[in-house]
Amino acid sequence: MNTLDAVALLGAHTVGVGSCDLFQDRLVNFNGTGLPDPSMDSDLVANLTTICEASENPSTGLDRSTPLTFDNAFFGQIRVRRGVLQLDQRLATDEATSSVVAQYAADNNLFKRQFAIAMVKMGAVDVFTGEDGEIRTNCWAFNNN
């Protein structure tokens, strides 16, 4: 696995959904400042704030332009400061990944090809089971043994 693979795999966020508790701090109290994350587009902050205040268990698509389509639009969004998750936004600004983000944003076919390659590589990674590890029932929590 390399940088191209890691960025491509994070591109799966193009069809991902995040609950507001995952990014709420970016909207109102980033790093304890009492202000929104300055790396986030102000219109996105306003939109997400409305969504997050609207219901009891709110969530939103991580790709705000084509949330139900597996495409490269996610990369275009993070290039213009519209990344919902801080991790996603950093992909567009980090020296090690910004050029890859630009390539994927410009070429949907390149993104899809590299995503397929990265998925095959990830599938070849050894999985720890038994005493060495576990396959989680839910990705967000350890299994109760």
Instruction: Sketch the domain layout of the chain as residue ranges.
Output: 3-125
Task: Give the length of the chain.
Answer: 145
User: Does 129 appear as a known binding residue?
Assistant: no
User: Does 66 appear as a known binding residue?
Assistant: yes
* CATH class name, domain 3-125: mainly alpha
User: Does 132 appear as a known binding residue?
Assistant: no
Closest CA relative to residue 58, chosen from 49, 67, 71: 49
Say which range, 28-42, 46-60, 118-132, has the weakest mean pLDDT.
118-132
At 61, which amino acid appears? G
At 60, which amino acid appears? T
pLDDT at residue 36 is higher than 80: yes
User: Does 37 appear as a known binding residue?
Assistant: no
What is the pTM for the complete model shown? 0.86
Give per-residue pLDDT as tens, 51-83. 999 878 899 999 999 999 999 999 999 999 999
User: Does 13 appear as a known binding residue?
Assistant: yes
**Binning pLDDT at 50, 70 and 90, where does residue 131 land?**
confident
